[in-house]
């Protein structure tokens, strides 16, 4: 006698009714459409370039550029290649971005804290600054600093002289340039040793505080180490450092370090503009901390400065860091407005002059876009790592 087996399991939904199957299907279709659209775009572009006799590839990077650049952090002259112009523009972009991030962060934190000050005048000055600066277009502010302020400085012969070593005129700010001599490696060794010592003391002080409750003056000791150790290393090495003082030669100054007006105008405008947004981010972060935390710290007898530094700011950083990252990204991207006043950043030098001379639009634009994408992703990566490191870990 045959036994009949009956499958008691309920029949599953048909594939086109299964949300998971439909999700995978539509994602595959979307990816296929994106690749098809990209391939069509590339194929049409190459066909059009070939019909117009425009060669493709990156061989143009080895050709001689034939034009000068007013500011370069890497060695450069007009006989060098277009590839070198790429590096010149990239380093100039990184320079003004790094300077802007540092200045905007410091100024933004100061303004954000001042905005919540109990002093009426300080709070109102901060409020007026934020509301005025962040509501004026950045390009207009760059023009203001470049054409209305820096261009009206005196000529080189009537330069503002500060102690015979620093000169300011409408062609830039001229500073003494340090020239290292033999034996300066000992000074670098002293600097690295001082930094390592400060990090070690900070770790030890934190463990000591957790174990005993006693606070070690890490900041004062750290500053003393960072100042004294390099000075002692410098004296022991026989003072292996000389200064090149800028001097007026003909119609302009020569020697020393020159900060051109284009860099100064762009840096000031980017810093002031971004700082106004960072100030609001800092203010909102501080206000997000429960008022009971402040009242509890005051009840323990902590002064206002320590309450802010040890209780409020560490908790506010959870709210501050994500939007702060966005402001850093905006600052880097806004630096491309440099082309409006002639600062030789990546867009002006590479996507401007180099593209016009070579006609390699696809390659030049693709490289420029890849650079900004890489910088943005790296900033986001480092800020996420920092955010994870300073996050409050609940027990």
Write out the DSSP string of 98-114: HHHHHHHHHHHHHHHHH
pLDDT at site 179: 87
Query: Looking at residues 226-232, what average pLDDT do you find?
Result: 91
Residues β-bridged to residue 244? 177
Greater pLDDT, 306 or 287: 287
> Which pLDDT value is given to residue 314?
84
Cβ-contact 226, 193 below 8 angstroms: no
> Given pLDDT bands bounded at 50, 70 and 90, which one contains residue 212?
confident
**pLDDT 10s digits, 114-170:** 998 889 999 999 999 999 999 999 999 999 999 999 988 988 888 888 888 888 888
Q: What is the pLDDT of residue 9?
A: 58
CA-to-CA separations, 291 to 39, 62, 213, 288, 392, in angstroms, rounded: 57, 62, 25, 9, 18
| Mean pLDDT of the region 181-198 | 90
- Checking 3-7 for CB contacts under 8 A at 24+ apart, the result is none
Confirm if 332 and 94 have CB atoms less than 8 A apart.
Answer: no
pLDDT band per the 50, 70, 90 thresholds, residue 334: very high
Task: Say what the pLDDT of residue 312 is.
Answer: 87
Higher pLDDT among residues 102 and 213, named by residue: 102
Supply the pLDDT for residue 305: 79
Q: What mean pLDDT do residues 230-249 have? A: 87
How many Cβ atoms sit within 10 Å of the Cβ of residue 49? 16
**Average pLDDT of span 387-394:** 76
| More reliable by pLDDT, 59 or 89 | 89
pLDDT for 1 equals 45
The answer for 86, left when phi > 0, alpha when psi is -120 to 50, beta otherwise, is: alpha
**Per-residue pLDDT band at 56 (split at 50, 70, 90):** confident
Q: How confident is the model at residue 91 (pLDDT cuts 50, 70, 90)?
A: very high
Chain mean pLDDT for the chain: 88
Q: Could you give the percent of the chain with pLDDT greater than 70?
A: 96
Task: Give phi and psi for 75, each to the nearest 5.
Answer: -55, 135
Tokens representing 349? 């030098």
Taking residues 22-36, report their average pLDDT.
Answer: 93
Q: How far is the CA of 349 from the CAs of 71, 93, 112, 338, in angstroms?
A: 11, 10, 36, 10
Confidence label for 11 from pLDDT (cuts 50, 70 and 90): low
Are the CB atoms for 344 and 90 separated by under 8 Å? no
Say what the pLDDT of residue 5 is.
53
- Whether 25 shows a pLDDT value over 80: the answer reads yes
């Amino acid at each position: 006698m045959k036994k009949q087996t009956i499958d008691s399991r309920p029949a599953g939904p048909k594939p086109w009714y299964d949300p998971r199957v439909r999700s995978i299907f539509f994602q595959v279709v979307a990816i296929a459409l994106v690749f098809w659209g990209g391939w069509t775009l590339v194929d049409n572009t190459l066909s059009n370039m070939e019909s117009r006799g425009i060669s493709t590839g990156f061989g143009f990077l080895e050709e001689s550029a034939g034009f000068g650049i007013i500011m370069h952090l890497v060695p450069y002259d007009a006989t060098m290649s277009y590839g070198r112009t790429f590096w010149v523009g990239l380093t100039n972009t990184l320079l003004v971005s790094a300077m802007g991030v540092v200045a905007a962060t410091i100024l933004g934190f100061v303004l954000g804290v001042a905005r919540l000050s109990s002093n009426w005048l300080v709070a109102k000055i901060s409020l007026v600054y934020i509301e005025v600066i962040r509501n004026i277009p950045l390009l207009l502010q760059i023009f203001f600093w470049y054409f209305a302020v820096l261009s009206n400085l005196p000529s080189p012969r009537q330069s503002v002289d500060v102690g015979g070593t620093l000169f300011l005129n409408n062609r830039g700010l001229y500073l003494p340039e340090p020239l290292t001599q033999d034996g300066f490696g000992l000074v670098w060794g002293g600097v690295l040793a001082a930094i390592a010592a400060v990090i070690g003391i900070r770790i030890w002080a934190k463990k000591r505080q957790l174990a005993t409750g006693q606070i070690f003056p890490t900041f004062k000791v750290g500053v003393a180490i960072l100042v004294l150790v390099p000075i002692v290393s410098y004296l022991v090495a026989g003072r292996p450092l000389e200064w090149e003082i800028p001097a007026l030669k003909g119609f302009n100054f020569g020697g020393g370090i020159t900060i051109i007006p284009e860099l100064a105008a762009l840096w000031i405008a980017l810093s002031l503009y971004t700082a106004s947004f960072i100030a609001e981010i800092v203010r909102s972060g501080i206000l997000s901390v429960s008022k009971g935390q402040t009242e509890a710290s005051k009840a323990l007898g902590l002064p206002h400065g320590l309450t802010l530094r040890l209780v409020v700011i560490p908790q506010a950083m959870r709210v501050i860091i994500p939007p702060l990252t966005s402001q850093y990204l905006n600052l880097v991207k806004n630096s491309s407005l440099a082309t409006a006043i002639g600062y030789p950043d990546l867009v002006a030098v590479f996507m401007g002059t180099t593209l016009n001379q070579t006609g390699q639009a696809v390659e030049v634009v693709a490289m420029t876009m890849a650079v900004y994408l890489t910088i943005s992703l790296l900033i986001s990566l480092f800020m996420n790592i920092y955010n994870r490191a300073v996050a409050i870990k609940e027990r």
